[in-house]
Structure 1
Amino acid sequence: MDRYQELFTRLNQNKSGAFVPFITVGDPNAISFMHIIDTLIESGSDALELGIPFSDPISDGPIIQKSIARAFKSSINFSRCFIILRNIRNKYPNLPIGLLIYANLVFKNGINNFYSHCADLDIDSVLIPDLPIEESLPFYKAAIQHKIAHIFICPPNATEELIHNITRQGCGYIYLVSRPGVTGIEINKKTMNTTVLQNLIQYIQKQEKKIPILQGFGIHTPLQAQESLSLGTSGIISGSEIARIIEENISNLELALKQLKKLVRLMKISMCFYKN
């Protein structure tokens, strides 16, 4: 968790927002995946959110679902994911690394056992998108016991009570969802109410416990990243655009890496010195 604190402190001092790419572990295969991770980090990504492939990803749209299918096709499974994660941590000891995983996978492997494995890999956070806060206590306790940030989701229709609970219990950062639905859908005036989001952000910031906010769902462009920072977030998480680049260049890794490098650098340039 300290890595997140150090990251957001440094970015605030530099008046910059955080760019956090999301990518499914093993997409499109284990070897290419590591080249992609290296490119994302070397191009300026501030942290990683890595998705553990799951057969029923209810929060993910078609683009991320295809990335999961590619990972499964290349023989990625739960055990191989953790081997890959260890390689990433060994190579990047100071980088904040978060996991996105569905609740059934955690439960199937044993809640305490799962978080123990994460602690052994020095994972910083775990986000479980299909876990309501009302059922999160066993997961939350295991995460805290193993010094891992349990990331809470703040939906656009969050009540004051929900915001109070997730800020009181949360650490690392809060994942602000841009709009209802699944990942990969472009956000616009019809799908994202900026006034509602800004009010949510302001209410979160008024809470006694201060937690950085990262916005996700439908953020693909530097302009959208700037708009997110202007609402008061600390940065963004973007995954579908990365998955799209991989999909469209599945037979040309070199071109995929070139486009990913360009994407990350444009995002970071747009977010530097923009944050108030």
Structure 2
Amino acid sequence: MSNLKSVFKNRKAFIPFVVADDPDFDTTVANVVALANNGADIVEIGIPFSDPVADGPVIQAADLRAFENDVTPTKIFAMVAEIRKQTAIPIVFLTYLNIVFKYGYDAFCQKCQALQIDGLVIPDMPYESRTDLAPFADKYNIDLIPLITPTSGHRIEKIAQAATGFIYVVSSLGITGQRDSFDEKLTDLVTEINKYTTIPTAIGFGIHTPEQAQHMATIADGAIIGSAIVDIVAQYKQDAPTHLAAYAQTMRQALDNATEKV
């Protein structure tokens, strides 16, 4: 499969998330490059969707702004092509299954491989529904990155055993958005996952401060930062890259201070 797993070997992974085409094509490219140059290990690019069931109001608003720019998967692939002229950082898409289905499973995965997209996070694709897409992801060496939640229960074993790349551990019930508290059993959840796989884990949903990121990286192998990044883009628009660079540096330092699992 891809090289995503190797990203986690030497340090805790910082995985920021940006919404494609928010606020525009060129700024999206610059945002990803700024994050890559200032401590990110993987960048997650969200493909805007009309019914993003896992996303809170901050990301939904960014999706709407992108739609005003006539965003399409083809346009996003062009953005990644521009990004690839400036950085080789691993990239994963967060998308919803209908987008991939409409584009065509084979064509979408082939395009991802051509642009060195390493994985797909698909919140509305349960483990049991992955059989149609998985052969094409395997064909083009694209990791299908599963989400495991505090309510995954008896399904954790089969989800973890089938995982490649890394496992997206959902910190809390509900949708994305900045939080001040998280599920108290996250440590137990990650411990349970690690019984069944050596694939790295990264915790997301709600992390926005360096202190939170550092704490999550003592539990798991990395931290995913979404709404806080999207908020910065919403606030600063075309000036966001400079602010994202500074924010990324603080997150990088926090994660570097989290060296051991509890």
Pairwise same-fold verdict (TM > 0.5):
yes
Match for 1:228 among 203, 216, 236? 216
- The equivalent position to 2:64 in structure 1, one of 58, 69, 80, is 69
Is residue 2–residue 119 contact of structure 2 (8 Å, CA) maintained in 1?
Answer: no
1:228 CA drift (Å): 0.6
* Secondary structure, aligned partner of 1:20: strand
Tell me if structure 1 keeps the 8 A contact 2:2–2:142: no
Provide the residue aligned with 2:143 in structure 1.
Answer: 149
Q: Shift of the alpha carbon at 1:257?
A: 2.8
Number of residues of Structure 1 aligned to a counterpart in Structure 2: 260
Q: Whole-Å Cα distance in 1 between the matches of residues 198 and 95 of structure 2?
A: 25
Residue 81 of structure 1 corresponds to 76
The answer to whether the aligner puts 1:134 opposite 2:128 as a matched pair is: yes
**2:235 alignment partner in structure 1:** 248
Contact 2:14 2:224 in 1 (8 A): yes
SS in 1 for 2:84: helix
The one-letter code of the counterpart of 2:65 is: R
- Report the Cα distance in structure 1 between the residues aligned to 2:59 and 2:104, rounded to whole angstroms: 26
CA-to-partner distance for each residue in 1:130-158, whole Å, 9 max, x for gaps?
11111111112221121111100001111
Determine the C-alpha separation between the residues in 2 that align with 1:129 and 1:258.
Answer: 30
2:163 to 145, 170, 181: 170
Give the root-mean-square deviation of aligned CA atoms. 1.5
**Which runs of no fewer than 5 residues in structure 2 stay unpaired?**
none
The residue that corresponds to 2:254 in the other structure is 270
Question: Is contact 2:178-2:228 (8 Å) kept?
Answer: no
Structure 1, unmatched stretches of 5+, are 12-16
Whole-angstrom distance in 2 between the partners of 1:73 and 1:2: 33
Aligned to 1:202: 191
Alignment of 1:80-99 (within 5 A): 80-93=75-88, 95-99=89-93
Q: Is the 8 A contact 1:178 1:187 kept in 2?
A: no
- The secondary structure found in structure 1 opposite 2:159 is helix
Q: What TM-score do the two structures reach when normalised by structure 2?
A: 0.94
Q: Which amino acid aligns with 1:265?
A: Q
CA distance in 2, matches of 1:140, 1:89: 25
Residues 178, 208 of structure 2: 8 Å contact kept:
no
2:202 to 214, 230, 234: 214
Give the letter for the 2:192 counterpart. Y
Checking the alignment, whether the CA contact within 8 Å between 2:92 and 2:119 is kept in structure 1 is: yes
Aligned to 2:17: 22
* 1:179 and 1:187 in contact (8 A); partners too: no
Give the aligned residue type for 1:167: A
Q: Secondary structure at the match of 1:124?
A: strand
The counterpart of 1:38, out of the listed 33, 48, 52, is 33
Cα distance in 2, alignment partners of residues 123 and 103 from structure 1: 16
Residue aligned with 1:9, SS: coil
Percentage of matched positions with identical amino acids: 34
Instruction: Determine if the alignment matches structure 1 residue 8 to structure 2 residue 2.
Output: no
CA contact (8 A) 1:174 1:214 kept: yes
